[in-house]
Amino acid sequence: MIAMTTTTHRSVLDAVIRIIAERGLDGVSIREVAGAAGVSIGTVQYYGRSKDDLLVAAFEDVVETIGTRWSAEAAKGKVAVALRDAIMANLPLDEERAREGRVYIAFLARAAVDPRLAAVQQRFLAAQRTACAQGFRIAVDRGQAQPGLDPVRAAATTVALVDGLLVQLLTDPSGLSHALVLKIIKDHLARYLLPRSHRR
């Protein structure tokens, strides 16, 4: 796969992501991508010699977008607010993030049996846990964490929670209101972070 350097390549990748979001992985073919991107089949094959190449590139693009947003939010301001906002920013609460989420979910089952996709997923989750753990370490350093907090364990639990919320919001949206999601996140973070009145 050639590194993305052109507007045409961006159009091809966006077409792959759009098809997956609308029709799932089975809807992707070289011909369908060419039609959706408005380019020739040869152009698509220049950027991805096979359907699998296109799928890996699309998955990498989506998880990079999600990961960048997570890291940016987690690095902001007060720890509790930053972690809450990082979680909320990656849940499918608007159409753009819902599209990303549908693509992400579409890849999960395939990643369980495809080593290339599994490697992308593993790098993504590791980066999420690292960014989240850094937030919890800052809370420990600032005296804002519950006694005995293990940042690595807290981060692993938090990332797993986000994955679960994402799946449920997309597959059973009537079962989780935005208000309930926010309460779940606040309750979760309260297990690890001290209330404002107890911080030093």
Per residue in 156-166, pLDDT (tens digit) is 999 999 999 99
Per residue in 156-199, pLDDT (tens digit) is 999 999 999 999 999 998 999 889 999 999 999 999 998 865 54
Q: Which of 86, 88, 87 is CA-nearest to residue 76?
A: 86
Per residue in 83-102, pLDDT (tens digit) is 888 888 889 988 888 988 89
| CATH 1.10.10.60 in the chain, residue ranges | 1-49
Write out the CATH class of domain 1-49.
mainly alpha
Question: Is the predicted pLDDT of residue 200 greater than 70, yes or no?
Answer: no
| CATH 1.10.357.10 in the chain, residue ranges | 59-198
Strand-pairing partners, residue 193, are 145
Write out the CATH class of domain 59-198.
mainly alpha
Q: Which of 70, 101, 115 is CA-nearest to residue 163?
A: 101
Per the CB < 8 A criterion, the answer to whether 60 and 40 are in contact is no
Residue indicated by tokens 């807290």 = 154
Strands (E) in 83-170, as ranges, are none
